[in-house]
Structure 1
Amino acid sequence: MNDLLKKDLTLKIISLFFAVFLWFIVLDSSNPVTWVDLNVPLKVENESSLKEKGIIIKNENFPRNVSVSLKGRKNTFNNIGLNDIEAIVDLSKVEDVNTEILYVHVYTNKDGVSFQGVTPRVVEIELERLGENPFPVKVVTTGKPKESYKVVRANAIPGTVSIEAADEIINSIGEVRAYVDVDNLSNDIIVNKECVVYNKEGEKIVELDKKLNVDISIEIAKEVPIVPAVRGRPAKNYTDGIHRVVPEKALIAGPSDVVGLVDNLKTEPIDIENVSESMTKIVNLVLPDGVRLVDTPRSVYVDVVIEELAEKEFVFGKESIVFDNAARNNSLRYEVWDEIIKITLTGTRQELNKIAPESLRLSVDVNGLSEGEYKRTLNVVLPDTVKLVENYDVKINVIRTGN
């Protein structure tokens, strides 16, 4: 009985193994084990860990893709994609600047798939120590602001940029610039601009091109003349001549619609009533509402020159007289009776000395006169700086010519 049971158990075990063997034969024929090579993108991770170690990659010549060899059943590969496999170079594995190779690690989330190999197995890297220094940003403006306007300030915000690069590049940096076009500008602006980094030979460093940006603040002001204001009249026989102000011009800012209407700034009035000597006064500027001064003092110096009036006599022959509005048909002839005409001018001695007799034009208006003798006012064209002491009359004779 026991022998029969033992034989039955043995037969069952043999049957089980045979069934399993047959199953594997069927499985291998319908879903065999196979090897697949996939082209997988190479991921570079933990690059920030290099900065913590003071290291930078000198040449980032990593391969973009690697070939991954996988083993598994055929059906498994029918449903596998690139999202199921990762090929990674982990930069946190860099020990120091002397590290030259890193292994490529492959990961898969698919069951029944095993990793057999990767090509390339390692990637070569070239490292160097990281340099980091703050460099001031020089703002360079191009173009010209609107007429009468000036750039009063051009600042980078912040005023320096921190540049991370290899020591070799850091040591070669000569200047960092940001260029801003201010052509036809009449108001303040803030713009974001790329920085251009130059080496000590003045050449652009292409490795740092388009890697740095800063905000640039441009402040614009309008330049207008300062006009001294006086009130009253000097003492008798004196005149106020030059009104000189220091500074001569002011820079103003404010709402563009307000500033655009301001052509000059006046000072507070200086009283010269009955004054007989020159003076220098410190007076405030009068500012329109909404306007502020830029880099200009509120109080300015004004020199008011008070000079004693002088007189100078000029003598002319009667041929110097011009007849204005004479008859056009030459039917009348005009003659001045007096052989000599004397006039006296008053003004500052300096201005009187500038006047030459030939620069003066003397004339008589004969409009509408017929034959006869007349007395007419002498007209003299003078510079604004001098005056006639009195009005002068000239005797003339109008004679009919018979034409």
Structure 2
Amino acid sequence: MERLPKKNLTAKIIALIMAIILWVYVMNEQNPPVETNMEVPLEVRNLSTSAMASGIPEYVRVKVRGPRTIVIGLTHNDIKSYVDLRGLSDGPNTLKVNTAIPANMELVEVSPEKINFQLDTITSRQIPIEAKVVGTPSEGGAIEKITYSLPNITVKGPSELLNRVTKAVATVDVSNQNKDFTVNVPLTIVDDKDKAVEGLTMAPGNASISVAITPMMSKKIVDVKPNVIGILAKGVVLNQINIKPEKVEISGESAAIAKTDFIYTEPINLTGIEKDIVLEVKLQLKDGIASSKNSVSVALSIGKQGQ
């Protein structure tokens, strides 16, 4: 077997080396390495469906270096940054950010390089709904009763946040309302100091609240007046009428009470009466008015005519 010719071998090797050097030189001149910064989404991998991670940023900044022709065509989809949460326990955790880049590229920097976050188990529980009333009804009105379409809602989220929750507040504006109404209002989850607790989900997020408006009640002391009808027996006269009590307390709608200065008894029939008598007589009360007493004692003093 003939040996490879050694003639001009050294010159050929030198020529090859020079060609490589020239190629590198040309490539560096025509397609030099450059750096670029890109903000890429931070992917969370292997997070359990029964867990929630808080404090993980949505994006990280990645600096890479590579040939200009490759860097120019680089997109966010070409770089993947992620953290792997497999096997972690509840509580504070720290993880390094992993980054995958295209071939022929060099990873220069990832910011942040590590992230600190909180991992919590997701649980749920029911909390009561409470109405927060703002404003005042129209003049003469008052809130009689508030009812809810449902007494509780289900709240879901990290156990650490759920432990702070006490109720769901529904803000109801009753300004200038003068009759019963129903309104659908959004709910706000709050703690024992009525501060909103963020980071939880609730179902449903709204509640139907019904408010019963009743006219404002007033009270007043008024005189009792006798309502006398009929004719006494022949030869006698009515000397005096004494009512006990002479005054009673009435209560009811403000407008009706304001128009009432006294209360009449039911008719007292004098027909056939010929001597002193004491009667228990009911009071005549208008609709919407109540009295501390429903009847009074009426004493009729009868005398002989001409005496």
Give the TM-score normalised by structure 2. Answer: 0.54
Percent identity, aligned pairs only, is 19
Return the letter of the residue paired with 2:50. Answer: E
1:162 corresponds, among 148, 155, 158, to 155
In structure 2, the partner of 1:311 is 271
Residue 70 (1) aligns with residue 68 (2): no
Once residues 63 and 177 of structure 1 are traced to their aligned partners in structure 2, the CA distance between those partners, rounded to angstroms, is 31
Per-residue deviation at 1:155? Answer: 0.9
Once residues 172 and 72 of structure 1 are traced to their aligned partners in structure 2, the CA distance between those partners, rounded to angstroms, is 51
> Greater RCO between the two (CA within 8 Å, min separation 6)?
2
- Kindly indicate whether the alpha-carbon contact (under 8 Å) linking 1:139 and 1:177 is maintained by their aligned counterparts in 2: yes
Per-residue deviation at 1:220? Answer: 5.1
Per-residue deviation at 1:192? Answer: 2.8
Unaligned runs of 5+ in 2: 216-229, 231-251, 253-265, 283-295, 302-307
- Kindly indicate whether the alpha-carbon contact (under 8 Å) linking 2:135 and 2:175 is maintained by their aligned counterparts in 1: yes
**Would you tell me which structure has more helix in proportion to its own residues?**
1
Once residues 53 and 170 of structure 2 are traced to their aligned partners in structure 1, the CA distance between those partners, rounded to angstroms, is 26
Specify whether residues 187 and 80 from structure 1 end up closer, same or farther in structure 2 by C-alpha distance, changes over 3 A only. Answer: same
Once residues 4 and 17 of structure 1 are traced to their aligned partners in structure 2, the CA distance between those partners, rounded to angstroms, is 20
Which whole-Å deviations, capped at 9, do the CAs of 1:238-261 have from their partners, x for residues lacking one?
xxxxxxxxxxx9xxxxxxxxxxxx
Specify whether residues 190 and 37 from structure 1 end up closer, same or farther in structure 2 by C-alpha distance, changes over 3 A only. Answer: same
Bigger-Rg structure (1/2): 1
Unaligned runs of 5+ in 1: 225-236, 238-248, 250-305, 315-347, 358-403
Once residues 175 and 127 of structure 1 are traced to their aligned partners in structure 2, the CA distance between those partners, rounded to angstroms, is 24
Q: CA RMSD in A?
A: 4.7
Count of aligned positions: 232
In structure 2, the partner of 1:198 is 191
- Give the alignment of 1:4-403 within 5 angstroms: 7=7, 15=15, 18-34=18-34, 36=35, 38=37, 40-41=39-40, 43=42, 45=44, 49-50=47-48, 52-53=50-51, 57=54, 60=55, 62=56, 66-80=60-74, 82=76, 84-90=78-84, 92-93=85-86, 95-97=88-90, 100-108=93-101, 110=102, 112-145=104-137, 152-157=145-150, 159-167=152-160, 169-185=161-177, 186=179, 188-199=181-192, 203-208=193-198, 214-219=205-210, 309-311=269-271, 350=281
In structure 2, the partner of 1:386 is none
Once residues 78 and 310 of structure 1 are traced to their aligned partners in structure 2, the CA distance between those partners, rounded to angstroms, is 115
Give the TM-score normalised by structure 1. Answer: 0.43
Once residues 146 and 120 of structure 2 are traced to their aligned partners in structure 1, the CA distance between those partners, rounded to angstroms, is 40
Moved over 6 A (4+): 2-6, 8-14
Specify whether residues 112 and 12 from structure 1 end up closer, same or farther in structure 2 by C-alpha distance, changes over 3 A only. Answer: same
